[in-house]
Amino acid sequence: MPALANRLSQIKVSASAAMTQRARELRNQGIEVISLSNGEPDFPSPPHAIEAAHQAALRGDTKYPPQGGTPALKAAIGRKFKRDNKLDYAADEIIVGNGGKQVIFNAFMATVDPGDEVVIPSPFWISYADMAKMAGGTAVSVPCPQNNGFKPRPEDLDAAITAKTKWVLLNFPSNPTGAVPSYAEMRAIADVLLRHPHVWIMTDDMYEHLLYDGHEFHTIAAVEPALKDRTLTVNGVSKTYAMTGWRVGFGGGPAALIKGMFNMQGQATAGVSTIGQAAAAAALDGPQDYVKERAELYRQRRDMVVEMLNAAPGISCHKPEGAFYVFPNLAGCLGKTSRTGRKIETDTDFVMALLEEKRVAAVQGAAYGMSPHMRISYATDPASLTEACSRIQEFCRELS
């Protein structure tokens, strides 16, 4: 059999995708599993977005799309950036991709050469490091300890940046921790980045509207306008509007960078589904009140999950400021044995035993660059969350 490419040896299957797939396999066997591994809103897509897609299909908007995005959607994205972030992007400074993930991938492929480094605060979304590797670069982790709210300390970020650094990647609210820096904390990060003019800056703002307890969102190019000409601001409709399956992400940045990303996208997927783009434009331009209403429901779920996890023996759960994840510390559970005799030496051992014994799927913190933790998504219905947390408590009580 012909050989596969060597690059695959550096790339792992996403742990969250693997755990979600394992949960599906168990369900297909008739085994009831509560999956808290998938970062996907359980709310429906907005009716006006669905109707916009329907009307686009009816009027024959089903041909090949413009490679970088339809004029209507790019105009809606421009209005969104101005409305929500006080950022002005012209049409040639905006690109639409098949999800935010492709926008990030395009950027790395258009800029990263072998030997270049991508600095990423950790814990981080699983795919960032692998995408940097696929582009030929090296991911450099900057640990963000729990005692600092899982947020990067300016001095640690500064120390990680070298002459080889091509990108610094920021993601707030964070996946997997839900961390949201204050304006002062973002200002301190901006001051570090001002000292390194050779570095591109990427900010993944996918969870920007999922904020709690009065916390406010601040994107880096708005905090420090002098950084805008080397910043790529990434966003999309997946999380805010519960439109994960529509696969529409977008980015705003300097025209030269966007042009390079455009060229990369042309050799991969070309344009994005026309009806998906119509739906995304309707979501961005349509009513926004329900976004805050859903955020309040997420907050209620967060509070319940944090309280129940902190009642589980051996678990300590930090209360996040945003997104829809918690990242509890499992240190108090390590070195113990489960009811069926499984040794719990690592966070991977914990989540695998939890799935097999209590039928609850979570993702090990090691996959996000920080152990011993696990990531739990509370983007699911309250009844399932309550039952899952009860099972986690039971699992922990049975450890000996």
Residue 327: give its domain's CATH number: 3.90.1150.10
**Does residue 186 share a domain with residue 56?**
yes
**Does residue 102 share a domain with residue 27?**
no
- Does position 14 have pLDDT exceeding 80, yes or no? no
Last residue of a domain, one of 285, 303, 338: 285
pLDDT in tens, 56-98: 999 999 999 999 999 999 999 999 999 999 999 999 999 999 9
pLDDT of residue 136: 95
**Does residue 181 share a domain with residue 128?**
yes
Residue 119 included in any domain: yes
Q: In a 3-state reduction of DSSP, which class is residue 377?
A: strand
**Does residue 247 share a domain with residue 312?**
no
**Does residue 197 share a domain with residue 170?**
yes
Domain count along the chain: 2
The chain-wide mean pLDDT, for the chain, equals: 96
**Does residue 376 share a domain with residue 270?**
no
Mean pLDDT of 363-370: 95
Last residue of a domain, one of 242, 259, 285: 285
Last residue of a domain, one of 241, 259, 285: 285
pLDDT of residue 335: 98
**Does residue 196 share a domain with residue 162?**
yes
Whether omega for the bond prior to residue 372 falls within 30 degrees of 0, making it cis, is yes
Residue 1 included in any domain: no
- Residue 139's DSSP bridge partners are 118
Paired tokens of 55:
């009307």
Strands (E), the chain: 34-35, 94-97, 117-122, 138-143, 165-171, 200-204, 231-236, 249-252, 325-326, 336-337, 343-344, 360-361, 363-364, 374-377
**Does residue 326 share a domain with residue 245?**
no
- Which residue, among 117, 112, 116, has the nearest Cα to 142 in the 3D structure? 117
Paired tokens of 167:
């990108």
Residue 169 included in any domain: yes
Q: Is the alpha carbon torsion for 380, 310, 322, 160 positive or negative?
A: negative
pLDDT of residue 375: 97
- Burial classification of residue 6, based on how many CB atoms lie within 10 Å of its CB (0-12 exposed, 13-18 middle, 19 or more buried): exposed
Paired tokens of 239:
């999380």
- Does position 348 have pLDDT exceeding 90, yes or no? yes
The answer to pTM > 0.85 is yes
Read off the pLDDT band of 12 (50, 70, 90): confident
Residue 360 included in any domain: yes
Q: In this structure, what DSSP letter does residue 4 have? A: P
**Does residue 51 share a domain with residue 35?**
no
Mean pLDDT of 170-183: 98
Structural domain that includes position 226? 47-285
Q: State the CB neighbour count (10 A cutoff) for residue 2.
A: 3
Using alpha carbons, list the distances in angstroms from residue 192 to 85, 155, 329: 21, 8, 29
- Rounded to a whole number of angstroms, the CA Rg of the chain reads 21
Share of the chain above pLDDT 70, in %: 100
Residue 357 included in any domain: yes
pLDDT of residue 19: 78
